[in-house]
Amino acid sequence: MDVIEIISCPRGISISCDGTKCTCLDFADGCRGKTPLIVTVGGNGSFHYYLRLPQSDGCIVFDQTVTISLVEPGASAEIYGLLSGAGSSSISISISLLHYADNTNSSCNIGSIGDGCCSISITSKIAVGSGTKNCSSSMQINNLRLSPQCQVRATPILDTATADCSCSHGATVGDLDRDQLFYLRSRGLDSAAAKITLRGAFEEKILRNFPKASSCNG
Amino acid sequence: MGADGGSCDSGDGTGAEWDFSCETDYAYDAGYGLSEETVRYISSIKDEPEWLLQFRLNSLKQFEKIDMPHWAPLKKSDINYGEIRYYLAREQLPRKNWDDVPAAVRETFDRLGVPENERKFLAGVEAQFDSEMAYANLREELTSQGVLFVSSSDGLRDHGEIFRQYFATLVPPGDNTFAALNGAAFSGGSFIYVPPGVHVAQPLQAYFRINAEQFGQFERTLIVVGENAELTYLEGCTAPRFESTTLHAAVVEVIALQGAKVQYITVQNWSDNVYNLVTKRAKAMAGAEIRWIDCNIGSALTMKYPALILAGERARGEVLSISVAKGKQRQDTGARAIHICPNSSSQLISKSLSIDGGSTTFRGQILTAANAHECRCHSRCDAMLIGENAQSQTLPKIDCRGRNCTIEHEASLSKISDEQLFYLRSRGMGESQALSLMVNGFFNDLIREFPMEYGVELKRLIEMEMDDAKGHGQWM
């Protein structure tokens, strides 16, 4: 078995591997089918997945499932995602990070921005199998709503069957901070510019983790 | 043999103060199994009005129809409903003086310390023994202010105009399987009414005791707190350890009217043969505050998700939950905050400890409705695992539809830190003492929220659970 095995992969995803490290760049659009991304990571392998769904005013239906299994000691995975929805888009992503071996690490940081009447649903799961030792995992989901009509659902799941692990997850849903907006306007920015600045700051927190060459493409 | 035909044994020798049962003569026994005859029997001996009989019969039909939700850790068929007795009582009316309570029942509550607590710091006590309240008393000064603290049967009979207005409004029989079961067979539980503006300074307490084997306790508690009134209510529950399954399927409805403050505290310490399947729901009107403090230590399986319905502007709710599961225990608990009005806020905080195969689950639901603007909710869930095969799950759901709402959820899972353990041992503590101290530290910020007497008791219960697990030597 290869250290990293791609069992299923949607079309349009770029994966490059270098030794035991694979980087997966996914600049998705709304035309994708429902093929899941399923990856197993073996001994000391490292899988990095970067997902960017740029905003489109059309009616986008995006439904993606990502399952990464860490099956041998030393395996690790990192996921960064930035999803933007507008209009009447429907965005749904389900991420599972499954720890089946000792000394495995994973992290996931997803941000979503919802505008218009879009619907965003993010389900994320960390599971640590029975008897595994010294695993660590963290997951963060932040959702920014730019429109009161936008509906956001977040379901972060933590499922552990061993005491010897350290896991955490967090999820937030909020609108633009009115104090921050007020501050920017008091410095001379108009309302639209202030909103764009705050939105940019939110995006930057995710995009700064993207590989350098790719982060400016979106 | 007691003077009234009852005697108490001392349990199975585990030394737990609640693990004993008393032989009693029951004047009313609905027999085994649940059928229309059982429901009619319960209704007839309580001399209930026709509408309530129809409510029970309708609930029975719902119970036969409704299945368990797909995520439930229990299938409907896992419980043999035909082997359970649904109504057992010595008498119908609770006594107002402990001296009038039958000796075996009085001895039960004496050993549990209920009369002593009443003397020390409670404003009123109800003590339920199997299906009916054996004792109910409220301090004179509260009675004169119009506070009602009676059994649900008395509430229905004597204060029907208030009781019927709110009864089953938050938990209708069609809500879930065990709400339907409760609707069909309910007996006992408290009815509390606090008139507008009255502050009940000291807590009211209800104590629920299951004494009989192969029995189901289905109490129904209804609390209505008037405008700008305040109430703290405590409930405790125990049962002796039997070989057979015991069922506890209660329903609790709390209504806090405008500006009211309600605190509902539960210390659940059922024995490990009890299925504890409880539906708790509270509704806070404008400016009202509701606080559920829920501690689950005992039972074989607990499924309990106290809910807050924030139905008025600036309503505020809080759920603080402690769960301990060891061995084969499963604590499937959680909290729900439903924001349906603007500017409402809620906080859901849970701490759980799983020891040696014990499993804890936190199911959270935070929903802000489309017209619920400017709402805030913070949810935190911390789990600690000790020993082999301990399990923990955190399953929150966030659904945000309102404008300018802020919702946060965070969860963490940890083990006993080797460094902290080493430090405590280097200061001269034994390993078990150090572990107990660390577990107490883990729970301490929630335990501080309990009234002092209960906080001390709770710490002691958690220490006993730890000692019990350590006795098996599985994680030392």
Tens digits of residue pLDDT in A89-147: 899 999 999 999 999 999 999 999 999 889 999 999 999 998 899 999 999 999 999 99
**Rounded Cα–Cα distance for residues B280 and B262 (Å):** 14
State the amino acid at position B415 in one-letter form: K
- Structural domain of residue B110, as residue ranges? 7-304
State the amino acid at position A24 in one-letter form: C
How confident is residue B284, by pLDDT bands cut at 50, 70 and 90?
very high
Nearest to A60 by CA among A35, A37, A31: A31
Nearest to A70 by CA among A90, A112, A40: A40
Residue B454, token pair as written in the block: 């209960």
- Is B7 in the A-facing interface, judged by CB distances under 8 Å? no
List of chain A residues whose C-beta atoms are within 8 Å of the C-beta of residue B409: 154, 156, 169-172
A174/B402 touch (CB, cutoff 8 Å), yes or no? no
Which tens digits make up the pLDDT trace of B86-135?
998 877 677 777 777 777 777 777 777 777 777 777 777 778 887 887 77
Interface of B with A in 120-179 (CB under 8 A): none
Average pLDDT of B253-272?
A: 93
**Rounded Cα–Cα distance for residues B404 and B392 (Å):** 33
B407/A173 touch (CB, cutoff 8 Å), yes or no? yes
Average pLDDT of B220-239?
A: 91
**Rounded Cα–Cα distance for residues A120 and B400 (Å):** 10
- Is A148 in the B-facing interface, judged by CB distances under 8 Å? yes
Count of the separate structural domains present in chain B: 1
Cβ–Cβ < 8 Å for A60, A28: no
**Rounded Cα–Cα distance for residues A216 and B393 (Å):** 38
Neighbours of A127 (CB within 10 A): 18
Count Cα atoms within 13 angstroms, Cβ side, for B325: 28
B395/A153 touch (CB, cutoff 8 Å), yes or no? no
Q: Return the pLDDT at B471.
A: 55
CA of B294: how far to CAs of A65, B22, B263, B270, in Å? 36, 28, 11, 14
Pick A168's closest partner by Cβ from B408, B412, B415. B412
Residue B333, token pair as written in the block: 């608990």
**What three-state secondary structure class fits B181?**
helix
CA closest to B401 among chain A residues: A151
Cβ–Cβ < 8 Å for B292, B309: no
Residue B184, token pair as written in the block: 């069909």
Nearest to A91 by CA among A125, A129, A52: A52
**Rounded Cα–Cα distance for residues B149 and B127 (Å):** 12
- Is A134 in the B-facing interface, judged by CB distances under 8 Å? no
Q: How far apart are the first and last CA of chain A?
A: 34
Q: For residue B378, list its beta bridge partners.
A: B347, B408
Three-class DSSP labels, B110-135: HHCCHHHHHHHHCCEEEEEECCEEEE
Pick A164's closest partner by Cβ from B354, B402, B415. B415
- Residue B188 forms part of a structural domain: yes
Q: In this model, does residue B406 exceed pLDDT 60? A: yes
- Residue B313 forms part of a structural domain: no
How confident is residue B470, by pLDDT bands cut at 50, 70 and 90?
low
Nearest to B340 by CA among B417, B292, B402, B433: B402
Q: Alpha-carbon Rg of chain A, whole angstroms?
A: 18
Cβ–Cβ < 8 Å for A207, A218: yes
List of chain A residues whose C-beta atoms are within 8 Å of the C-beta of residue B386: 163
**Rounded Cα–Cα distance for residues B308 and B296 (Å):** 19
**What three-state secondary structure class fits B91?**
coil
Angle between helix B431-447 and helix B418-426 axes, rounded to 10 deg: 120
- Is B439 in the A-facing interface, judged by CB distances under 8 Å? no
**Rounded Cα–Cα distance for residues B365 and B457 (Å):** 30
Residue B175, token pair as written in the block: 């809500």
- Residue B452 forms part of a structural domain: no
Q: In this model, does residue B3 exceed pLDDT 50? A: no
- Residue B183 forms part of a structural domain: yes
Cβ–Cβ < 8 Å for B232, B259: no
Average pLDDT of A1-15?
A: 85
Residue B95, token pair as written in the block: 């006594």
- Residue B323 forms part of a structural domain: no
Whole-complex ipTM: 0.81
Q: In this model, does residue B181 exceed pLDDT 90? A: yes
**Rounded Cα–Cα distance for residues A73 and A70 (Å):** 8
Q: What are phi and psi of A76, to 5 degrees?
A: -145, 160
- Residue B356 forms part of a structural domain: no
Q: In this model, does residue B22 exceed pLDDT 50? A: yes
- Is A157 in the B-facing interface, judged by CB distances under 8 Å? yes
Q: Return the pLDDT at B7.
A: 58
Residue B43 parent element (H or E): helix B36-45
Check residue B97 and report its DSSP letter: S
Three-class DSSP labels, chain A: CCCEEEEECCCCCEEEEECCEEEEEEECCCCCCCCCEEEEECCCCEEEEEEEECCCCCCCEEEEEEEEEECCCCCEEEEEEEEEECCCCEEEEEEEEEECCCCCEEEEEEEEEECCCCEEEEEEEEEECCCCCCEEEEEEEEEEECCCCCEEEEEEEEEECCCCEEEEEEEEEEECCHHHHHHHHHCCCCHHHHHHHHHHHHHHHHHCCCCHHHHCCC
Which tens digits make up the pLDDT trace of A9-48?
888 888 898 889 999 998 877 667 778 999 999 999 999 9
Mean confidence (pLDDT) of chain A: 89
Q: What are phi and psi of B56, to 5 degrees?
A: -65, -45
Q: Return the pLDDT at B40.
A: 95
- Residue B220 forms part of a structural domain: yes
- Residue B455 forms part of a structural domain: no
Mean confidence (pLDDT) of chain B: 87
Q: Is B17 exposed, middle or buried (0-12, 13-18, 19+ CB in 10 A)?
A: exposed
How many Å lie between the alpha carbon of A104 and the closest alpha carbon of chain B? Answer: 16
**What three-state secondary structure class fits B11?**
coil
Q: Is B141 exposed, middle or buried (0-12, 13-18, 19+ CB in 10 A)?
A: exposed
Which tens digits make up the pLDDT trace of B302-323?
999 999 999 999 999 999 999 9
Which tens digits make up the pLDDT trace of B31-76?
889 999 999 999 999 899 999 999 999 999 999 999 999 999 999 9
How confident is residue A51, by pLDDT bands cut at 50, 70 and 90?
very high
Percentage of the residues of chain B whose pLDDT score is greater than 70: 92
Residue B224 parent element (H or E): strand B220-225
Q: In this model, does residue A58 exceed pLDDT 80? A: no
Higher pLDDT, B101 or B84: B84
Check residue B66 and report its DSSP letter: P
Interface of A with B in 50-89 (CB under 8 A): none
Cβ–Cβ < 8 Å for A129, A96: no
Q: Return the pLDDT at A30.
A: 63
Q: Return the pLDDT at B5.
A: 45
Average pLDDT of B226-244?
A: 85
**What three-state secondary structure class fits B383?**
strand
Check residue B27 and report its DSSP letter: S
Task: For residue B61, give every residue at least 6 positions away whose Cβ sits within 8 Å of its Cβ, in sequence order, or none.
Answer: none
Higher pLDDT, B228 or A33: B228
Residue A32, token pair as written in the block: 């994708």
Cβ–Cβ < 8 Å for B21, B8: yes
